[in-house]
Structure 1
Amino acid sequence: MRRLLIGLATGAVFVAATACGSSDSGGSGSGSGSGSDEPSSGGTTTVKVGVIPIIDVAPMYLGQKKGFYSERGIKLSLTSAQGGAAIVPGVVSGQFDFGFSNTTSLLVAQSKNVPVKAVVNGVASTGKEGADFAELAVKKGSPLKSAKDVEGKKVAANTLNNICDTSVKNSVRKDGGDPSKVQFVEMPFDQMPAAIDNGQVDAACVVEPALATIKAKGGTSIASLFVDVSPDLTVAMYFTSQQYAQKNPEMVKKFQEATAESLAYADSHPDEVREIITTYTKIPGTLLETLTLPRWPAEADRTSLEKLAELGEQDGLFDKAPDLDKLLP
């Protein structure tokens, strides 16, 4: 198992383990071990969650601010990491109680018998070509005009062997190119705009708010990666370890309920989503209105996950086919 976890984390470096909650959100709660094992003062329990500083997790920060978690006796301690491939080992080792991960990384983990269990939906594609919260983006004046053009080029992905490179390969393949010739460069989302500008990479699989930064400088999208996979693509989910779920079923239930309420609230309050992301990302206020918001549906779309599993097999990500029944709630 140790070798499996090391393999999942390869190339996915943790950002400094700093809680990312805003000053009034209680997001900097601390604790040792699995925080949910021992209630803190006031009948609340500190729950440690590994997240990524991107628009996808806005509902969690909103739910924290609106009291959806505290109403259920949960004090969130949110820690930022580079991507799901880094968060998975953190959850399995007990560093985090819950984590946020792209679904491909969860499928890879499940296929390797890493004991992960999705507990609640995370985020979904808008389903709109050219208007999604994640795009294959290039800088202003780039000669690259479509997904096929990144064949033989350098493309930024936040972590390797995750939903970014799988969806890029899918778009390149659909556009008639050879996906095996794409050169992926691993880097955090917030470093991608500068990397495109200075020529470190030719294109980037980038999500909001970094996508808005690229567009503000005249950059454009040459492919809607997630839409190409499935219009209703379940991009990411919140998950825990099987051990934690078995030991803390009541906390898992409370976390599910609070997160589901947060997803629904975010979906119906876009202005508050735009405001909350300024508390945990570096997005300039001038770009807030240009952000493309994702969808936050209550349930995962199984058909889209089956498609991701199919693409993962095609790309050689799995030793054996992942078992969706074991992974999903």
Structure 2
Amino acid sequence: MRARAALVLWPVLGLLALAVPGRAAAPIRMGYLGVSSDAGIFIALDKGYFKEQGLDLALERFGVGADQMALLGAGRLDIASGAPSPTLFNAVARGLPVVVVADKGSLRKGFGFNVLVVRKALVDAGQFKTLSDLRGRVLGSASPASIVNFENYLALKKGGLTPRDVTVEYLEFVDQPAAMANGKIDAAVMVEPFATAAESRGIGKIVLTLDQLLPNFQTAVIYYNTQWARGHPEDARRWMIAYVRALRYYNGALRHREVRDDVISIMTAHTPIKDRAVWDRMIWPGLHPDGAVTVRTILDYERWLLNEHQIGEFVTPPRFVDLSYVEHAVSVLGPFPP
């Protein structure tokens, strides 16, 4: 019991010092996707961590992270979330006030929550045995700007194929299981919980976890509008304290059954997948307990985008990454117990 308390509950006096009672804040406008890697956001909401910091959030759901970038750059969102994309690098190159500030999902070993799902009918009929059998098939992807296109490229390359060997159908993650069920797509790199939901309903078969192709890859991040962060520095720092605290609670769920059950309750409340068994079975995302970002893997993706002529120039990390907010949060919260 003492070990659990040390892991999940930070020193009481320290947490009391984090609270900002009675502080009235304008709602922070934030975009989210409603997928498993949003766990830190939903935990912080449900456990009252944002409220303890005197913050109120106005949330808006989007199909993919790339759809948020124009709104973030225009100041119509203060915080955004989702995968790095061509829209990020092109926005920074144009001087728009957007920056990566924290982790929101990576493919650590054993946490390959982006997975390749193939239509079960094809697998059962023996029409899919290896990745080379994707030739001539229809692949789902979240959008033309989605990082899934990079993941598709690597999966196809592993099977000796190129994107020219398949047809791509663009669908939001939430719509992909239904599209697979009616035969509109044959395969897709899905994010959890939709991949396990598709498999549990007999629609698809998980054939590859992306941590095998892209170990430690940074698939999703938190973004700040830098003008908002400079104009509201205390809100920006307090938001991150609440978020990193939630990431630590999430990591406690990987070790303690009662915390896992609580996190599953939170996620079923905030996402379209309500089956607790799916959440228990699925591959959970890697969320760093300190909010750290694996920048080098984002640079690998950026180089690919440049080679594919999807971005006009290579943007160096100082121009699009600012980890000072997570560093401040860790200094307030202290080290995460090993």
- Which TM-score band (shorter chain)? 0.7 to 0.9
SS of equivalent to 2:309: coil
SS of equivalent to 2:121: coil
Mark the CA change 1:227 to 1:87 in structure 2 (over 3 Å): closer, same or farther.
Answer: farther
The alpha carbon displacement at 1:161 in A equals 2.2
TM superposition score normalised by structure 2: 0.78
The alpha carbon displacement at 1:288 in A equals 2.7
In 2: Cα distance, 1:79 partner to 1:112 partner = 25
In 2: Cα distance, 1:42 partner to 1:250 partner = 12
The alpha carbon displacement at 1:292 in A equals 1.5
Per mean C-alpha deviation after superposition, the further-off stretch among 306-315 and 92-101 is 306-315
Mark the CA change 1:170 to 1:292 in structure 2 (over 3 Å): closer, same or farther.
Answer: same
1:216-251 per-residue CA deviation (whole Å, 9 max, x = no partner) reads: 13321233335412x111111111223222322222
Structure 1 residue aligned with 2:186 = 202
In 2: Cα distance, 1:309 partner to 1:146 partner = 28
Greater gyration radius: 2
Mark the CA change 1:124 to 1:271 in structure 2 (over 3 Å): closer, same or farther.
Answer: farther
Structure 2 residue aligned with 1:253 = 237
1:71-125 per-residue CA deviation (whole Å, 9 max, x = no partner) reads: 2111122211101111111212222210102023534533454431112221111
Structure 2 residue aligned with 1:121 = 103
The alpha carbon displacement at 1:202 in A equals 1.2
In 1: Cα distance, 2:90 partner to 2:27 partner = 29
1:320 aligns with 2:313: yes
The alpha carbon displacement at 1:201 in A equals 0.9
TM superposition score normalised by structure 1: 0.80
Which ranges in structure 2 are unaligned for 5 or more consecutive residues?
1-21, 254-259, 323-338
What letter is aligned with 2:97? Answer: P
Q: What is the CA RMSD across the aligned residues, in angstroms?
A: 2.0
Structure 2 residue aligned with 1:147 = 131
In 2: Cα distance, 1:220 partner to 1:112 partner = 42
In 1: Cα distance, 2:285 partner to 2:100 partner = 20
Mark the CA change 1:223 to 1:110 in structure 2 (over 3 Å): closer, same or farther.
Answer: farther
Percent of residue pairs bearing the same amino acid type? 21
In 2: Cα distance, 1:303 partner to 1:122 partner = 16
Mark the CA change 1:163 to 1:86 in structure 2 (over 3 Å): closer, same or farther.
Answer: same
Of 252, 262, 270, 1:268 maps to 252
Structure 2 residue aligned with 1:83 = 64
Of 44, 47, 51, 1:66 maps to 47
Question: Would the aligned equivalents of 1:45 and 1:73 in 2 still touch at CA under 8 Å?
Answer: no
Per mean C-alpha deviation after superposition, the further-off stretch among 262-271 and 46-55 is 262-271
The alpha carbon displacement at 1:312 in A equals 1.8
Structure 2 residue aligned with 1:296 = 287
Structure 2 residue aligned with 1:310 = 303
The alpha carbon displacement at 1:156 in A equals 1.1
1:221 aligns with 2:237: no
In 2: Cα distance, 1:166 partner to 1:233 partner = 12
Question: Would the aligned equivalents of 2:113 and 2:210 in 1 still touch at CA under 8 Å?
Answer: no
What letter is aligned with 1:70? Answer: K
Mark the CA change 1:162 to 1:113 in structure 2 (over 3 Å): closer, same or farther.
Answer: farther
Question: Would the aligned equivalents of 1:110 and 1:323 in 2 still touch at CA under 8 Å?
Answer: no
Structure 1 residue aligned with 2:117 = 137
Structure 1 residue aligned with 2:10 = none
Per mean C-alpha deviation after superposition, the further-off stretch among 218-227 and 251-260 is 218-227
Question: Would the aligned equivalents of 2:107 and 2:210 in 1 still touch at CA under 8 Å?
Answer: no
1:101 aligns with 2:82: yes
SS of equivalent to 2:176: helix
1:192 aligns with 2:172: no
The alpha carbon displacement at 1:49 in A equals 0.7
In 2: Cα distance, 1:186 partner to 1:113 partner = 29
Question: Would the aligned equivalents of 2:148 and 2:189 in 1 still touch at CA under 8 Å?
Answer: yes
What letter is aligned with 1:262? Answer: A
Mark the CA change 1:227 to 1:161 in structure 2 (over 3 Å): closer, same or farther.
Answer: farther
Runs of 4+ in structure 1 deviating by more than 6 angstroms, as ranges, are: none
In 2: Cα distance, 1:161 partner to 1:182 partner = 17
Mark the CA change 1:161 to 1:217 in structure 2 (over 3 Å): closer, same or farther.
Answer: same
What letter is aligned with 1:75? Answer: D
SS of equivalent to 2:27: strand
In 2: Cα distance, 1:183 partner to 1:314 partner = 21
